[in-house]
Amino acid sequence: MGENVMERKLPEVSLKKLLGGLSPVVAVLIAFAVAGLVVLASGGNPLEAYRALAKGALGSWVGVKNTIRYTLPILLAFSFSICNRCGYFNIGQEGQMYFAALGIAFVPQVIPNAPLWVQAVVMVAAGALFGGLISLLPAVFKFLFGVNEVVIAILMNYIILLLTDYLLNNGPIAKADTTVPMSVNLAPSLNTTLILIAVVAIIIAYALCIRGTVPGYELRMIGHNPKFAKACGVKTIRIVLVVALLGGVFSGLTAAGEVMGVYHKVYNNFAVDMGFNGMTAALIGKDSTLGIIFGSLILGALQSGAVTLSVETSVQAEMVQVVKGFVMLFATINILFSFVIPVYLLTRTRKFKKAYDAHVKKSSDFEKKDEDKKQ
């Protein structure tokens, strides 16, 4: 009977893991369902809207390439996730991208006579450096002065955006004779295929380090219980500072990919909503590598299909933002762990207790009969 009781318990663990893995998918499906109700209430056809989205994102080779292109800023999701793993809330990705882009744009001014490949390498390094350094400031303020990192990040985003506007209008990197604030053209460029290979390599290295190294284990320990981690000798402040730096480096590398691989110049609004998308992808994925990839692909497909949505249906492309908002909402709620799993475990616990009580009663009856026979 003891073996039967253990057999009853094993499926609970496996099903819990299965439901946990399905949680991002369920969050996305619920978000699409609720957004579909919004489309229906506004006089549109949700099925037609989603068909147009799918067609725009995956219905042609151009659509697939656009989906991949909008998925490439996936490093922003890892920028948020790696910080979130240790309890540090990094929402300064957009400010970090703009600051990194300014550093990138200044490189050709500093070394104008260097070969283009040298300029390209230095520009990527400058993006990573500027993004990492500016990302450190909220963490430093948090540990030195006890200021919440979210407040500092929001203020810094605003300040950096104003600084970007000013330098793109008046600074040495500003392009003359244009009504749109932008930098001069940046000759060094990055190939999209090269960017894709680099992103995949970084993600693989990230996954291996998080799961297979001591610093990765210490990082996860801090996220689960910082007091216990500190009691075990883990240098929590140092690790959080390093993580904040890495988060900024990811943002800076994303800026390098956008500025050097897509626009070939710096615009004052090239990173709008990219930080929000990265945060949403990380929340969908629950900080797991595969989950973040799934979330980024979903958001990339939505962005890619937005134009087809507005062209082929009466639904405006802004509906994509509504879907993203619902996705973030339900991903944050984590509906499976909040409702489904607790109910399931409660039910299974009662069944387990009932089976155990029956086993104890049967054992007691057997022992009583055995004693009666001896007497």
Rounded to whole angstroms, the maximal C-alpha distance in the chain is 110
How far is it, in rounded angstroms, from Cα 50 to Cα 15?
31
pLDDT, tens digit, 9 for 90 and up, residues 163-203: 999 999 887 888 877 778 888 888 888 888 888 899 999 99
DSSP 185: P
- Find where tokens 């801090």 sit: 222
Beta partners for residue 183, in sequence order: 174
The larger pLDDT score, comparing residue 351 to residue 285, is at 285
- Kindly report which listed range (36-45, 228-237, 312-321, 344-353) carries the lowest average pLDDT score: 344-353
pLDDT score at 358: 64
How far is it, in rounded angstroms, from Cα 101 to Cα 94?
10
State the average pLDDT for the chain.
Answer: 82
- Kindly report which listed range (11-15, 61-65, 215-219, 271-275) carries the lowest average pLDDT score: 11-15
* 344-355 per-residue burial string, b: 16 or more CB within 10 A, e: under 16: eeeebeeeeeee
How far is it, in rounded angstroms, from Cα 122 to Cα 331?
38
Residue 11 has pLDDT above 90, yes or no: no
Q: What are the helix (H) ranges across the chain?
A: 2-41, 46-58, 61-71, 75-84, 93-110, 116-145, 149-170, 192-212, 214-224, 226-231, 236-258, 274-285, 289-312, 319-333, 335, 341-374
Domains of the chain plus CATH, in order, are 63-318 (1.10.3470)
**Burial of 42: CB neighbours in 10 Å, binned 0-12, 13-18, 19+:** exposed
Closest-CA residue to 68 (of 286, 321, 296): 296
pLDDT, tens digit, 9 for 90 and up, residues 228-263: 888 888 888 899 999 999 999 999 999 999 999 988
pLDDT score at 161: 92
Q: Hey, what are 18's tokens?
A: 């299965």
**Residues 207/13/327/298 CA torsion (nearest 10 deg):** 50
